Structure 1
């Protein structure tokens, strides 16, 4: 049954591969814990491979087993229906979980699509971790009065529009004919005598376009020439009804005077759709301010998920520091954590040190940029981990300080929250220390932190957030063109703990063996509080 706001709660699962009873038993458990769900969608291979006893004719058998490959016009179907969610469950052998960055369709509702490839429920992998095989989300119907959802900060070009443009780049027979007979090239100022002799409107032999057979004009002036074939799509604007040469946006300019971008393009520096990065005033100002440090370099390269420090798909991620993995987030010890764990002069209160990062599994620049229709489970699990850490630290005689650097940048970051245990005797000095260190750096905090965070929703601004031990929040709104140190939170904590030598995380790095020992110690002690268990 739909909720009061009209949204429908949906659970999507990957390939069952014949393990149908086991799948539904697991679904029942998920529904009891996270439901109730209104709808279950099963993607991929439901029944599994055929056995020798299956009596199916040979061609059907070959098709089901993948020995006959059919080309289905799925891209055409997707382009027509513009789904908000597109699931697949056969990506890789065995299937892998992968969530693509969202992309936006043209149109008044600026519909946002998300593609998710699910792992398989059946067929446990021989080696490695089992891939995530389910995905839960809520979705509400779109009506004529529904306001367009804010564009995600990590939205990419629409791959289906790119496919249309790619296909449209091939010249049709008609276009080839027009280029051959004064069509899309600059015509000479004088007609040759041969041209006057053959003043006859026609198209090249074999063209699908009509011809009027008039002797009153050349083909370049023919009214029929202005009508493209039925399936022709302009490669500039991606719409039918006119040729490239007649496109109304062919010479359009952006809001800064440069060339207007194609649909789906988003400037990495400011998030605008109306100019390219090289024409962005914000990017130019940033490069101008940093030129003496960076020299004559081009615009910053956007970080991909394979290069992101916090994306699980990065082969260089320090996975040995991960201490918990939930459905939406994972928890890891910080590299070069503030708390000394292998020092003769200091004994950590919390096993393994306790400097923790809570990281959403899916790549988003900040928590405020997570789309509203899928944000709830991510935010709920983040809060569950925060609560668990507070209880865990309290057991070991420590208070909890959490902070988040929610900064939007041209390169793009990955949202995360840092948690640090501090002695109980210092918990009342946390706010004072943040205010003191902030005043020295021109960092002020808002009187209404909740309103400040709301003003940044949908990627509308950058912020720095602190969760104090007593549950109150402190929020600083970052200002355009005013530098903000991403190490500010660490700077305050090392000042509070009187550990100035722990400011540079690189100077605090440990060997992998020591890191593993810390992770194991923390994981064992935290397990009674771990919400993922």
Structure 2
């Protein structure tokens, strides 16, 4: 049992006893050490039975309460990102929190079928129950339950084989805290740095001063938060970072001034060698550039460990990849039963989605050519998600225009985009692509570029099933990174939808389209 209370109250912002990133990191380190001891004795397994905190974890109120719980939950004042990361990392069997002064028993969530407790035939998927408790004898909050009865077989006993673990309840939901850490296995010191990298360990109080609390006290963090989906840096034409944080902005500025080659004495910070700009580093950015890349990864929009990931777009999540709606989607959902009309799609919610690797991945090429189990596993699940989305499209007489644009840069997280187009227009895809490439002095190829670090645009031809490629020259400054979107807009006769910024809608409209797509996609969602 691990208690954690920051002593937070509305009038105690200066309380020196409030926890900070160091306290969270130390606690997770202790859990990792205990897990390793358990692994030496029996097998790798989570070691926390009960976690007690004051704050609720941010994002936990995403399911209907259990019977007997409060019918509604007020706007939370003490939700905390660091508590979310803590809970996602240590995976307690029970998590109790009292900060909201209401009783709320959430439906339990399961950590997939890979994280199990018990041994042999007695093994069972691991799950967490979250319970919010009311205050003791405080009439101002009404008659909220402040007690909870349970019968728990300790995880240590289950792992040692002396007690059977509890089976996962049938009403388990998906993990609502996956964006704060989806480890896929029990925490140990080998993966501890990955978890701690997501914690602010500056020592500042975890309150309104660092903008981590949601909502009720959250400050404007637009500059610290990652950019929206499909945001493209105007300096290097790459997504994944704000233009003010561009790792190559100095080189780009010199190039615009006519300096194609670096000046005498310039040394690349990636490989510590002269003769080329950092953005053209042939080794992909090793050496001193790793620190810069690591900083970019901590703000990566697609990495689920980033606490600022926009949950408003999330559709489904598996073991290796997840599905999300596209920001500024090219198509929108039309009326039920209607045919395709311009950018009005018959697929509920529109259907423009992204299939994204959970682990930070700069290119899907390795999933096709790599020999490791991890690469093959990721490739297989991406293909499985793509097939599931295609099956939904087929129900509405559509085929997927599936494409990836990769510059093989370590701080850019790649994704497979899928846009539904009418089945009768499938044959127009390749001719339209060849015409667009010819206008830009490019050609359509049948394979990846020769260099492993060379960029490419990859497309699956819906008519023939062939994989088509457009190689991105290393020195290309004018390559349109939205080539796939321009291709789809051309085929649909909707040129005004080529640029995503012109298609952004309100958060409520995004949520409505997402919910309609989720409802239609549910029967194809193999992670449910």
- Scaled by the length of structure 2, what TM-score is found? 0.48
TM-score, structure 1 normalization: 0.48
Larger Rg: 1
